[in-house]
Amino acid sequence: MDLSDWFLTPSERGNTSTTIDLRNDARCAWTDGNHVDVLIDGASYFDHLLDAACELARGDLLALTDWQGDADDG
């Protein structure tokens, strides 16, 4: 199965205002070969999020989706 079968095309997303598809040579919003750390505990998640946010540079993109915190998280 091709990875592109899992992701929406620009026309399928229906957002003509976005430029996310212009970020790489493949002209698609997603990339492969990314590093992922699975963080279950809220406290370790927020520690890693802060570290990653502090390393951002001009032109970088930080996107949070479906983010929900509880009062007892970190």
Q: What is the mean pLDDT of residues 40-68?
A: 83
71 or 38, which is more confident: 38
Residue positions counted in the chain = 74
Rounded CA-CA distance 70/73 in Å is: 5
User: Does pLDDT of 53 surpass 90?
Assistant: yes
> How many Å apart are CA 71 and CA 39, to the nearest integer?
18
**Is the pLDDT at 32 greater than 60, yes or no?**
yes
More confident residue, 57 or 41: 57
